[in-house]
């Protein structure tokens, strides 16, 4: 019986640790749509680690979009107006997709999200198996 309690406590702690790691890496886990024209505009890949685009990729591409825009404006003064309109169009669309992805992240990882509730339950579950109040006797101690 003691082995079973220890096993459950270890599994709860492992699950809790896994969820905390997922919370720490949430920008790399939550998917985010990135327009294909953004990658062509910055001349870089849309994804960095995973086969799908994430919030971290969106933030990285947002910074690259701003850098490329400034560089083009310095080099190509005659195309400033056209480039500014195109950048504004892409940035507004990009911000909308980022807002949607952030709301998804808040739904999953926010204070009332599913991951937070599950992490709390696992943490409390591990605590019930590991903690003992002073003076409490376990079944084995009472029978002995």
Q: What is the pLDDT of residues 58-86, one digit of tens each?
A: 898 999 999 988 888 788 777 778 888 89
54 - beta bridge partners? Answer: 31
41 - beta bridge partners? Answer: none
Which residues of the chain fall short of a pLDDT of 50?
A: none
Is the distance from CB of 114 to CB of 8 less than 8 angstroms? no
Quote the domain boundaries for residue 57: 31-109
Residue 5 shares a structural domain with residue 54? no
Residue 44 shares a structural domain with residue 92? yes
DSSP alpha helices (H): ranges in 2-133?
Answer: 2-24, 26-29, 36-42, 55-75, 80-109, 114-130
* Domain count across the chain: 2
pTM of this prediction? Answer: 0.54
Rg (CA), the chain: 25
- In Å, what is the CA distance from 103 to each residue of 3, 31, 54? 42, 11, 13
Residue 25 shares a structural domain with residue 71? no
31 - beta bridge partners? Answer: 54
Can you give the pLDDT at residue 144? Answer: 63
Residue 105 shares a structural domain with residue 117? no
């Amino acid at each position: 019986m003691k082995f079973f309690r220890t096993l459950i406590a270890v599994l709860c702690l492992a699950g809790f640790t896994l969820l905390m790691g997922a919370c720490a890496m949430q920008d790399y886990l939550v998917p985010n749509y990135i327009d294909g024209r953004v990658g062509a505009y910055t001349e870089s890949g849309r994804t960095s680690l995973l086969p799908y685009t994430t919030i971290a990729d969106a933030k990285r591409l947002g910074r690259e979009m701003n850098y490329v825009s400034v560089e083009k404006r310095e080099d190509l003064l005659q195309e400033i107006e056209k480039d500014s309109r195109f950048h504004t169009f892409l940035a507004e669309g990009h911000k909308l997709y980022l807002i949607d992805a952030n709301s998804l992240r808040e739904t999953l990882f926010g204070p009332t999200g599913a991951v937070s509730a599950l992490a709390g339950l696992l943490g409390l579950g591990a605590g019930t198996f590991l903690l003992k109040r002073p003076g409490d006797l376990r079944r084995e101690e009472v029978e002995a």
